[in-house]
Amino acid sequence: MRGLAVFLAVLVVLPALASAEQAWPGEPIDNHVHMSWAALTLEVNEWADDYPEIVDLADIGDSELGKTLWVVRISDWSMETKENGEAKEIVYIDGGHHGNEYLGTSLAWLSAKWYINGWNDGNEEAVRVLQNSEIHVLIMLNPDGNDIDTRWNINQVDLNRNYDHYWNTCPTTQPGSSAFSESETSSNSNYMNTVVPDADLYVTMHTGVWIMLYPWGKWPEQPADWELFHGIRDEVQANISEIPIQNANQGLYPNCGTSRDYGYGVMGFPTFTFETDDEQFVPGSFESLDERLEEEMDVMRYLIDNVWYWRARLVLDAFTLDDDEVTFTVSNLGHASTRNATLQYVNGDDILWQSSNFTANASGSTTVTSSGFDYKGGEWRLSYQKRVINSSTWVNESVDVGDYEVGFLAQSLATMVWALQIGAIPLVVICFSFWWSREEKPFTMDEEIPLDAELID
Ligand SMILES: [Zn+2]
């Protein structure tokens, strides 16, 4: 009966929604305004029709009952890359794992709508973000559960326990028959693996206690990239919001098979679960929702605007070659550390030489000396993982080391060829030039949270 009531309500409300551009696509149910999948579908298609220059809508699969899972992709699509030719940063957001968590779902909706409105208003921050990054938002992952106002999907599975990361290894309820047994979670992980595997931020939005949770849910220990998570926590709490930010296992309770632990442990994304409070009256317009979730959006805007920093970013500061010994200094401009980095000399896919492995701490600099270099005809690159976690993406980034000496034998030959070419140079000059050129020439380039009996997260 309730399903029928919802359906009728949608029929009544839809025409009114279609005409009100700024309206939250909601409908009144019980004591709150609740976004239906039907209204959402209408709205996201309107976004794509009205703003094709920044909105690209993707159908990434179906719910168990066949409702389309929409991902809204927002960027300045007139530019495939940033203005400087570098790849745009990728942000991935999902909402609505749990069908009765409207406020978390509306934070996902707002995270898309804020940038669309901002772009249209010429807001400097929104324009900057959309020129330099792609924001992918799956607003409602569980439309079947949403339509019947329940946490679970239609098969009574808790979708946020159904991911393939230590699936069903915690005391938990209804994780499904196997990891990714549900079409909603398998579609989500497929999208992560095929479209946004290089994301440098993943935020999954829920409703419960007001908190942000970083990995792990499975273990009480801090994650390998604790430095990155603690840095974000400290900056948010100092400048933006006093929202608690904790390891999920300690901040909430042990939980396994979550999209957060999967996003970090398997995909290597810096991942947060963003829990809004559970005062779930959701107001009915963009303006009022923007105000209701202003503090949460301030945190999201900070995370998105600074996405460039959420990985290691190595740059070569100095390089010298003395005989076969390479000495170089690398700075890490990012806020994540990396281990097992190397400076490599490559010819295509062949690694001719590489330095010893080194660690580059977040915002730090390190100097490395490695011997055994005697090669020509290659190119230099830095090879490293974007974060410490094993699953994080490897990057190979070309570096320009400038001019450098290429070793004793080659230098001697070059000097002799030069002497023969110009002829009649006294031997002493050859010797002098030889010794002079052997000199090293440095190269410089310019709390504790009470456990709630209710299931949240
Ligand atoms: Zn939830």
- How many Å lie between the centroid of ligand 1 and the Cα of residue 394? 32
Span from the CA of 62 to the centroid of ligand 1 (angstroms):
20
408-435: buried (b, 16+ CB within 10 Å) or exposed (e) per residue?
Answer: eeeeeeebeeebeeeeeeeeeebeeebe
- Could you tell me the distance, in angstroms and rounded to a whole number, from the CA of residue 344 to the centre of ligand 1? 45
For the segment 175-195, what is each residue's pLDDT rounded down to a tens digit?
999 999 999 999 999 999 999
Q: Are 162 and 189 in contact (CB under 8 A)?
A: no
Taken as a whole, the chain contains a residue count of 457
Of these ranges, 23-27, 108-112, 425-429, 439-443, the one predicted with the greatest mean pLDDT is 108-112
- 407: confidence class by pLDDT, cuts 50, 70, 90: very low
Q: Which of the residue ranges 17-26, 146-155, 297-306 would you say has the lowest mean pLDDT?
A: 17-26
Cα separation, 111 vs 122, whole angstroms: 17
Alpha helix stretches (DSSP H) within 387-454: 408-422, 427-438
Q: Report CA(105)–ligand 1 centroid distance (Å).
A: 9
Return d(Cα 322, Cα 325) in angstroms, integer: 5
Instruction: Give the pairing of strands 68-74 and 394-398.
Output: unpaired
Where in 310-408 does DSSP place strands (E)?
Answer: 314-322, 325-332, 338-347, 350-354, 358-360, 365-370, 379-385, 394-398
Compute the distance from residue 447 Cα to the ligand 1 centre, in Å: 21
Whole-number Å distance, alpha carbon 456 to ligand 1 midpoint, is: 5
CA 403 – ligand 1 centroid, Å = 56
Q: How far is the CA of 97 from the centre of ligand 1 (A)?
A: 6
> Which stretches within 133-225 are classed as H helix?
143-147, 183-194
What per-residue confidence (pLDDT) applies to 30? 42
pLDDT of residue 445: 39
CA distance 98 to 104: 9
Instruction: Give the strand pairing for 271-276 and 201-207.
Output: parallel
pLDDT exceeds 50 at position 3: no
Q: What band does 443 get if pLDDT is binned at 50, 70 and 90? A: very low
132 Cα to the center of ligand 1, angstroms? 30
Calculate how far, in angstroms, residue 31's C-alpha sits from the geometric centre of ligand 1: 20
- Contacts of residue 1, Cβ cutoff 8 Å, sequence gap at least 6: none
Residue 177 alpha carbon to ligand 1 centre in Å: 20
pLDDT, tens digit, 9 for 90 and up, residues 144-179: 999 999 999 999 999 999 999 999 999 878 999 999
Share of the chain above pLDDT 90, in %: 75
Phi, psi angle pair for 352, to nearest 5°: -75, -35
Q: How far is the CA of 277 from the centre of ligand 1 (A)?
A: 11
Q: How confident is residue 19, by pLDDT bands cut at 50, 70 and 90?
A: very low
**Residues 196-235: tens digit of each pLDDT:** 999 999 999 999 999 999 999 999 999 999 999 999 999 9
For the chain, how many helices (H) and strands (E)?
13, 19
CA–centroid distance, residue 194 to ligand 1 (Å): 25
Tokens of 146: 């949403």
Give the distance (Å) from ligand 1 centre to CA of residue 332: 36
Report the separation in Å between the CA atom of 214 and the middle of ligand 1, taken as the mean of its atom positions. 14
| Strand-strand pairing, 325-332 and 365-370 | antiparallel
Q: Give how far Cα 397 sits from Cα of 86, 225, 297, Å.
A: 11, 21, 33
CA of 274 to the centre of ligand 1 (A): 9
In the chain, % of residues over pLDDT 70: 81
pTM beyond 0.75: the answer is: yes
Residue 65 has pLDDT above 90, yes or no: yes
Compute the distance from residue 159 Cα to the ligand 1 centre, in Å.
Answer: 9
Q: Please, which pLDDT band fits residue 417 given cuts at 50, 70 and 90?
A: low
- Domains contained in the chain, CATH given: 2-308 (3.40.630.10), 311-446 (2.60.40)
Contact between 272 and 176 under an 8 Å Cβ cutoff? The reply is no
pLDDT of residue 252: 86
Q: CB within 8 A of 194, min separation 6: which ones?
A: none
| For range 108-128, the mean pLDDT | 96
In the reported structure, the alpha carbon of residue 287 is separated from the centroid of ligand 1 by a whole-number distance in angstroms of 25
Mean pLDDT over all residues of the chain? Answer: 86
Neighbours of 455 (CB within 10 A): 16
pLDDT at 405 over 70: no
Q: How far is the CA of 35 from the centre of ligand 1 (A)?
A: 16
